[in-house]
A and B are shown apart, each in its own frame.
Chain A
Amino acid sequence: MAADTVEAVAGLGQERLRPATGAGRGRTPGRIGFYVVLVILSLVFILPLLWMLVTSFKQTQDATSQPLGWIPNPFTTESYTPLASTTSQTPVVLWFLNSLAAATINTVLIVVTASLAAYALARMDFPGKKLLFGLIVGTIFIPSFVLLIPNFLIVSDLGWLDSIWAIAIPSAGGAFGVFFLRQIFLSLPREIEEAAWLDGANQFQIFYRIVLPLVRPGLATLAVLSFLTNWNELIWPVYVLFSPSKFTLPAGLPILQGAYNTNYPIIMAGAVVASVPVIILFVLAQRHVIASVARSGLKG
C-alpha cells in the first residue's frame, strides 16, 4: 500500500496510457493490419533469440548442414555438458559463477552506497553540498573510455588485476545510482520523516526504517539495472582478466567462439547461459526497467 503510493509519487511503474488517436480503436480491418505489423516486427526481435536457443539443442551436424530447421533433430542437451567442466580451457560454469558473484557484489555495493549518499544529498544540509553534487553530476558526462586506461593502472596498483574485485568494485563509483535515488528521495513527502523525528528516531533510523522501505521499488529498479549492466559488461573484463578460470561470461564468450570454431551448438549454449539470467530478471522487472529508461529522456 505504502509502496504503491510512493511508486506513484516517484513516477515508477506509472503507466500513463493515454488513448491517443489511432488504429487501436479503429475499424476491424485496420486493427488486424495493425496487429499484423506488430507481430512481424516482434518476429524480427524474437527469431534470432529463438534461433540461438534452438541451435543450442541441436547436434553440430544438424546445426550446420542444410536444410536448416527450426526444430532440433534429434533434440539433445549434449552441448551443455562440456560447459559444466571446471577444468577445461573454457569453464563456462565458472564464468557463470564469476559473473553472478561480481554482479551481485557490485549491485549490493551500488544500492547501499548510492542510497546513503543520495539521502544525504536530498535531505541534509552541509557545507560543500552544491559543489559535491555538481561534481557528481558533471562526471555523468565523462565517456567511459577516458577512464579505461587510468582505471586499469589503479586496479593494477590495488593488486586486483585478474580477480573478481576488478569487476565487482570500480564501477560502483559511477554517479548514476546517486542521481537516480536522489530524484526519488526528493519526491517523497517530508511529513513521514518529520513525524518519525518527533517520535525520537535518529537520522540513520529514519533512513533505514522509514525511508528505505518507502522507496523499495526504486531500490529494486536500481538493483536490476546495476545487475544487468555489470553482468553484460564486455570491454573491461576482457582486458583486466587473464586466466580462463577468472573470466566472466562476456569475457569468455569470444574465447568459447574461438575454441569451438564451427561447433555452433556449444557456442550458442554458452550464449544461452549468458542470456537466461538477464531475460528472467527483465521479465520480472520489465515494468520498472522500462519506466526508468523512459524517464531518463524527459530529464535530458
Chain B
Amino acid sequence: MATAARPAAVGRAGDGSVVPRNRPVRRTGRATPYLFLAPFLVLFIGFVLLPAVYGIWVSLHDYDYLLPGKPWVGLQNYTELFDSAGRDAVNFWHAMRATGIFTVLSVPLLLVLPLGLALLLNRAFPGRTFFRAVFFTPYVLGVAVVGVLFRFILEPTIGVVNYYLGLLHLPQPAWTTSTPWVWVTLVGMTVWWTVGFNAIIYLAGLQDISPDLYEAAEVDGANKWQQFRYVTLPGLRPVMLFVLTVTILASANMFGQAYITTQGAPSNETRTAIMYIAQTGLREFRQGAAAAMGYILAAALILISLANFRLFRTEEGES
C-alpha cells in the first residue's frame, strides 16, 4: 500500500511544491494508517474495549461460565448488593470497608512522605542518582515478592522485626493476624513498596517550578518555610492531584498485600473488595455478581476522583 502511494507523492515534491509544516509527513495510501494501527487495534478492541462493554452485559445476567443457562436478571445483581438479605451484600460491603480503611490510612502517608523524600533529593549533591535509585528499588519488585518477604519479616515468633523488638523489651504484636496490627502491616509495607514511585513524580514536579519564583520570594524576605508554603506547594498542585488520583486508584486495587501477607485475616477483616470480587467471579464462578461489584467499586472511585478534582479547583480559586 505504502509503496503504491510513493510515486505520486514524490512527483508532487518533484514539482517543487513546498511541504507544509505541521501536516502529516506525506499523503499516503488510504489504507496505510489502518495497516499500521491494525495489530494494536486487534488487541485493544479484544482485551480492553470489548471487555469493558461485555462486563456490563455479564453483570445483567445470572452468569456462570460453566453452566449452559445464563438467565437475564436485569439489575438484580446490583440491587441485591444494596439489600442486606442479598447473598453477597454483607460480605461485599465488609470487603469494601477493608478497602476503604486501607485507602484512608495509606493515601495521606503516600501523599506526604514521598514529598519529604523528594524535597530531600531536590538538590545537587554527589550520589543523588544512587540514592534516588535506592528509594525506588522496592517498587520494581512485584507485590508477590514484597508479600512473602513481609510475611516472613513480620512473623510473630521467628520474624526479625519481633526479634529486635524483643531485644528492646518492647511488645511483639501479631502483625499479620490481629487488629489493629494487620492495618499497620498492610499500610507500612505498601508505603515501603511505593513511596519511591510517588517521590520520583514529586521530584519532577519540584524541578518544574521556576527558580525565579524562589529568588523573587527571597528578595521579598520570605523564609524557607514561607517559600515552601507560598511557592513550592502551589507549584506542586497539579502534580499533587495526579499523585492523589493515582494513589487512590492503586489503593482501591489493593490485592496482593492482603492476599499474601495477611491472607484476609483476622476472619476476613482484611479481605479487600478486589479479593472478594475475584473470589466470587473466578473461584465460585458467579461472574454476573462479581462484574456488578466491579462496576460499583468503579462508580465509588469515580465519585471520589470527581470530589478530588473539585476540591483542588476550589482551593485554587481561594488562594
Contacts and interface: CB of A to CB of B under 8 A. Distances in A.
Interface in B164-192: 192
Contact of A145 (B141, B148, B294): B294
Interface string A61-104: 00111111000000000000000000000000000000000000
A48 B143 contact: no
Contacts of B51: 147, 150-151, 154
Nearest to B198: A297
A200 B138 CA distance: 49
B142 A124 contact: no
Given A113-B40, A169-B43, A235-B278, A153 B211 contact: no
A278 B141 contact: yes
Contacts of B208: 298
Interface string A241-271: 0000000011101101100001010011011
A123 B52 CA distance: 29
A117 B44 CA distance: 11
Contacts of B43: 109, 113, 169-170, 172-173
A68 B163 contact: yes
A116 B55 contact: no
Given A45-B138, A197-B25, A300-B245, A202 B2 contact: yes
Interface size class of chain A, counting residues whose CB lies under 8 Å from the partner chain: 35 or more
B24 interface: yes
A34 to B, nearest CB: 7
Given A173-B43, A178-B40, A124 B260 contact: no
B117 interface: yes
B160 to A, nearest CB: 6
Interface in B130-172: 131-138, 140-145, 147-153, 155, 158, 160, 163
B92 interface: no
Given A232-B141, A253-B145, A297-B204, A268 B133 contact: no
A278 B207 contact: no
A24 B289 CA distance: 57
Interface in B238-286: 238-239, 241-243, 245-246, 249, 252-253, 255-256, 259-260, 274, 277-278, 281-283
B144 A253 contact: yes
A20 B39 contact: no
A149 B290 contact: yes
Interface in B36-79: 36-37, 39-41, 43-52, 54-55, 58, 65
B33 A294 contact: no
Contacts of B89: none
B128 interface: yes
Interface of B: 2-3, 5-6, 9-10, 13, 19, 21, 23-26, 28-30, 32-34, 36-37, 39-41, 43-52, 54-55, 58, 65, 117, 120, 122-125, 127-129, 131-138, 140-145, 147-153, 155, 158, 160, 163, 192, 196-197, 200-208, 211, 214, 224, 238-239, 241-243, 245-246, 249, 252-253, 255-256, 259-260, 274, 277-278, 281-283, 287, 290-291, 294-295, 297-298, 301
30 contacts: A19-B124, A20-B214, A22-B125, A34-B125, A38-B127, A48-B138, A51-B153, A63-B158, A120-B32, A124-B33, A139-B44, A139-B49, A143-B298, A146-B294, A149-B291, A152-B287, A174-B48, A197-B26, A198-B10, A200-B10, A203-B32, A207-B36, A228-B140, A232-B144, A239-B283, A268-B149, A278-B141, A294-B201, A297-B205, A300-B239
Given A124-B24, A268-B148, A294-B203, 20 more contacts: A18-B124, A22-B122, A120-B37, A124-B36, A125-B33, A135-B49, A146-B52, A149-B290, A169-B43, A170-B46, A173-B44, A194-B26, A267-B148, A268-B149, A278-B142, A279-B137, A289-B140, A295-B204, A297-B242, A298-B204
Interface of A: 15-25, 34-35, 37-38, 41-42, 44-46, 48-49, 51-52, 55, 63-68, 109, 112-114, 116-117, 119-121, 123-126, 129, 132, 135-136, 139, 142-154, 156, 169-175, 178, 190, 193-194, 197-198, 200-207, 228, 231-235, 238-239, 249-251, 253-254, 256-257, 262, 264, 267-268, 270-271, 274-275, 278-279, 281-283, 286-287, 289-290, 293-298, 300
